[in-house]
Structure 1
Amino acid sequence: MSMAVVGMIAGLALGFAGYFGGFGAFLLVAALGAVGFVVGRFLDGDLDPGEFFRPRDRDREGRRR
């Protein structure tokens, strides 16, 4: 399935949620879609969990580099 079709389906879902459920439902569908996207990237192997939980580089005084 192409990314254009996936984007169209996501847009339709957000449109229906906004029309029938209001702005709160629109935000809920958008947030769950984003979570599903990240989980899907993890399962495909495109993202590594360490990218989110790796400590940042700091010098001896605790300042970021």
Structure 2
Amino acid sequence: MFEDDEDRRYTVVRNHEDQYSVWPADRPAPAGWESVGVTGPKSVCLSHIDTAWTDLRPLSLRS
């Protein structure tokens, strides 16, 4: 478990289904997820996800 506070830095991660999430930058990405190269406060990461993840269906349903 980790504390969610204003000073914590996050990174945007994506899985094989092209789904996005935020993850603490000081921890390795969970299995099946990879960093997309955007790191910062949670608000910055969530803003990136809002612009990058426009179709919320998993990739397998879009193909």
Q: TM-score, normalised by structure 2?
A: 0.29
Larger radius of gyration: 1
Structure (1 or 2) with the greater strand fraction: 2
Higher RCO structure (Cα 8 Å, ≥6 apart): 2
Q: TM-score, normalised by structure 1?
A: 0.29
